[in-house]
Amino acid sequence: MTIGSLDTLEVRAADHTQGRAWDGVVEAVRQATLSAQTSGRVAEVLHDVNDRTAEGAVLVRLSAVEQQAGVDTARAQLRAAEAVAAEAEGNYRRYLELSQAHHVSKAQLDQMQRARDSAFATRDAARAQLAAAGQQTRYTTIRAPWPGIVSRRDVEPGESVGVGQPLMTLFSPDALRVEVGIPQSDAAEVRARPRADLVFDDGRRVEAAEVIVFPAADPATHTVRVRVQLPPLDPVPVPGTTAKVVFPALGGATYAQVPLAALIRRGEVNAVYVLTDGRLSLRQVRLGEHAGDRVDVIAGLRPGEAIAADPVAAAQALAAARKGMK
């Protein structure tokens, strides 16, 4: 209907008899970006994107020339330290026997003991150095920490990589979830009946394996996070894709629904121009589920009220009315 030159429309109700839904993003509970822990050149890349890997499977091999040289050097140093330690131990035992027969002084025996202890410490340090060098060699073989699917590959054979450089990303398809934020007024219903269905873009609708309602609301948005655990699926939804989460516990709730074109957005605030008893005013609203070119209004507006169809024209009409009153 038209009042003056301003087009208005009547707010209609959206009855969610099958439950209300929110869009969420699929994320992996277990996802890892494997990075280089030692420098080197990529010798082999044994898996690519979409490959399934077993736990412990080799994903990438780096050249180990420098690392192996470090192992050989550390092993040689350990052999030398062990020889010195064995000689120091022998000297100390001989001086101990001589000391018991009073052929050497206590000071000479203490000197031999300090020399032995120093040689033992050097030997132990050489052992630790060999272990560290061996670990650097093991770092040249990058393995899957658990069974998963490769979602990203960042290197090619022949590339030089440094410590911390990403090599490959994989996720576990057995543990996927979706998190959505629902109004705090609906959290109690979902907490009492923790059930949800997930609707994917390919048309599949599956029941969630578990629904967890967080105990606190976000003070900025006044929404409560709900974590929905996915059951095992084939094909596996890709992390980062969207899925609609439907809560049957909220079925039958009736909310106002308006066209997206009737909304005015100012920063984080959403509002509509409402016509009441011939008076036009701007009213803030809180939005819910989107359905095509329309959106639910879960607070601030009731079905049956009249709003401006064009917020720009409404703002101009309101400004003209205020100017005429001066």
CATH 2.40.50.100 is the classification of domain 34-63+140-171: yes
pLDDT of 302-316, one tens digit each? 888 888 888 888 788
Range in 26-35, 114-123, 156-165, 279-288 with the lowest mean pLDDT: 279-288
Has residue 120 got a pLDDT over 80? yes
Report, as an integer, the average pLDDT of 126-133. Answer: 91
What confidence score (pLDDT) does residue 255 get? 72
What are the sequence ranges of the domains in the chain? 2-15+253-325, 20-28+175-250, 34-63+140-171, 65-138
What confidence score (pLDDT) does residue 2 get? 42
pLDDT of 174-209, one tens digit each? 889 999 988 888 889 899 999 999 988 887 889 999
Query: How many Å apart are CA 275 and CA 96, to the nearest integer?
Result: 106
Neighbours of 162 (CB within 10 A): 10
Which superfamily, per CATH, for 20-28+175-250?
Efflux pump adaptor protein, beta barrel domain (2.40.30.170)
Question: At residue 181, what is the residue type?
Answer: G
Report, as an integer, the average pLDDT of 84-113. Answer: 89
Asked if 229 contacts 177 with a C-beta cutoff of 8 angstroms, the reply is yes
Percent of the chain whose predicted confidence (pLDDT) is above 70: 93
Has residue 54 got a pLDDT over 50? yes
Give the torsion sign (CA, 75, 76, 77, 83).
positive
Give the torsion sign (CA, 133, 137, 140, 142).
negative
| Mean residue pLDDT across the chain | 86
Name the fold adopted by 2-15+253-325: 2.40.420
Has residue 166 got a pLDDT over 90? yes
Has residue 76 got a pLDDT over 60? yes
Report, as an integer, the average pLDDT of 120-140. Answer: 91
At residue 224 the predicted structure's pLDDT band, cuts being 50, 70 and 90, is very high
What confidence score (pLDDT) does residue 228 get? 95
CATH 1.10.287 is the classification of domain 65-138: yes
